[in-house]
Amino acid sequence: MKPEKLTGQARAQYVQAMFSRIAYRYDLMNRLMTFGQDRYWRAEVIRRAALPTGGRLLDLGTGTGDLAIDALRLPGVSAVAGDFTLEMMLVGHRRLQARRQHEPAWSGADALHLPFREQVFDAVVSGFLMRNVSDVERALREQRRVLRPGGRVVILDTTRPKPNLLTPVINIHMHRVIPALGKLLTGEGEAYTYLPDSTENFLSAEQLAARLQAAGFIQVGFRRLNFGTIAIHWGVNP
């Protein structure tokens, strides 16, 4: 069975092992795959989180902690960086230690079983998490559970682009350039075949917005980026 077709615990184990293998080159690959645009997308995620002074943020599926680190630049904000792939967080931790930068609170966290009390965060954000979870609806319910009333969820992820004149170019980039580059830099060609394949098997931007509404979020919206291959979704916990 193709990895992107796996479900339940089998999918979770595959994703965890895959990100463990590519952790040390993950950020470099993101810069190259997105031509450096991912930094601007993450800045918009933090802006849309609309954190109050002294607010508390959860960066779920944090990887090496990029979103949590960006949030810590805001006045008085505290951040928890949660992921179930410990190797990814270790890369982020070591990098911040080497730079002597302020760190978020790192937490081993499964997106389907968050180890936090109800209503403790002002925002829950994620970058390239949701297409990898085995149960989108449950993950959204968990995020809403830990949000305070009025708190915001903001999701950055890939999405299936609508057919257009650039479709052949996009397909070549996703299915040939990215796997080849991934194999060259990490030795993990399979991982970088899974990543574009998982995009094509993920919900459309419209479908993910509908899931957010079904989970109880209000003021739901989204914005497509990068020729329609990326979307930022947001919603408010009533």
Domain assignment of residue 197, yes or no: no
Domain assignment of residue 187, yes or no: no
Whether the per-residue pLDDT at 165 is higher than 60: the answer is yes
More reliable by pLDDT, 28 or 109? 109
Whether the per-residue pLDDT at 4 is higher than 70: the answer is no
CATH number for 208: 3.40.50.150
pTM, whole model, 2 decimals?
A: 0.89
Whether the per-residue pLDDT at 189 is higher than 70: the answer is no
Summarised one tens digit per residue, pLDDT across range 47-76 is: 999 999 999 999 999 999 999 999 999 999
Give the helix/strand (H/E) hosting 222: strand 218-225
Give the per-residue pLDDT at 67. 97
Domain assignment of residue 176, yes or no: no
Which tokens belong to 121? 């965060």
Domain assignment of residue 175, yes or no: no
Domain assignment of residue 186, yes or no: no
Which tokens belong to 114? 């968050």
Give the per-residue pLDDT at 174. 74
Which residue reads 């779920």 in tokens?
A: 60
Domain assignment of residue 126, yes or no: yes
Domain assignment of residue 213, yes or no: yes
Which residue reads 């928890």 in tokens?
A: 80
% of the chain with per-residue pLDDT over 90: 63
Give the per-residue pLDDT at 24. 73
More reliable by pLDDT, 171 or 44? 44
Tally of domains in the chain: 1
193-221 average pLDDT score: 91
Q: Distances in Å between the alpha carbon of 97 and those of 21, 69, 106?
A: 22, 13, 13
CA dihedral 54, 103, 141, 130 (to 10 degrees): 130
Domain hosting 158: range is: 3-164+203-236
Domain assignment of residue 211, yes or no: yes
Give the per-residue pLDDT at 227. 86
Sheet holding 105-108, edge to edge: 105-108, 78-83, 56-60, 121-127, 147-158, 230-236, 218-225
Angle of the 26-33 helix axis to the 86-99 helix axis, nearest 10: 90
Q: Using CA atoms, how far apart are residues 102 and 187, in angstroms rounded to an integer?
A: 32
